[in-house]
Amino acid sequence: MKIIGEIIGGLAIIINFLIYQQKERKNLLKIKLLSDIAWALHYGLLTAFSGMSVCLVGAFRETTFLLTDDKEDNRKYFLLTFAIIAVITSALTMKDLYGLLPALASLIAVFSYWQKSPTLTKILGLPISATMLIYDFMRFSLFGIINEIFTLISITVLFILNHFKDKTN
């Protein structure tokens, strides 16, 4: 099962790369949804259930945001609801204190994907990935580690390139 989990992790890395290439929020959320499903399968096959549960909550979160983005009156309740769900699912599935890391990453992600600025979503990807990198090291998720390193580099390069592009304009 571990080998299949790592193969799915490789696929999830490719999907995850596409998240930070999106300029429109709706496309960003769709790619994030696919990524969360792939990562949930990856962590589940590695028996890293805190990571899996947070990814499943993330998939539900992205689906909810995709379906309700036009309904401004419910948005603040979704922020609180998904934050509470993230903490509860991690608490119920954690094996040790490292199981709190996906909860922390999920709390940041809830706000990151709840607010409507793709730029802020990308900025908040840095602490999310750093937190999950530690979790992946502790759960021996090879593709999780590769993904988070790749994500951190990808976001950093994106902002460096944007910085230089802004300077030339």
User: Distance between CA atoms of 65 and 13, rounded to whole angstroms?
Assistant: 23
Question: By residue range, what is the domain housing residue 101?
Answer: 2-168
- State the maximum Cα–Cα separation within the chain, in Å, rounded to a whole number: 51
- Name the domain count of the chain: 1
The 3-state secondary structure of the chain, one letter per residue: CHHHHHHHHHHHHHHHHHHCCCCCHHHHHHHHHHHHHHHHHHHHHCCCHHHHHHHHHHHHHHHHHHHHCCCHHHHHHHHHHHHHHHHHHHHHHCCCHHHHHHHHHHHHHHHHHHCCCHHHHHHHHHHHHHHHHHHHHHCCCHHHHHHHHHHHHHHHHHHHHHHHHHHHC
pLDDT tens by residue, the chain, 169 residues: 888 988 998 899 889 888 877 888 899 899 999 999 999 999 899 888 877 888 898 899 899 989 887 777 667 788 888 888 877 877 787 778 887 888 888 889 888 888 888 889 889 999 999 998 998 898 888 888 998 998 898 888 888 887 777 777 6
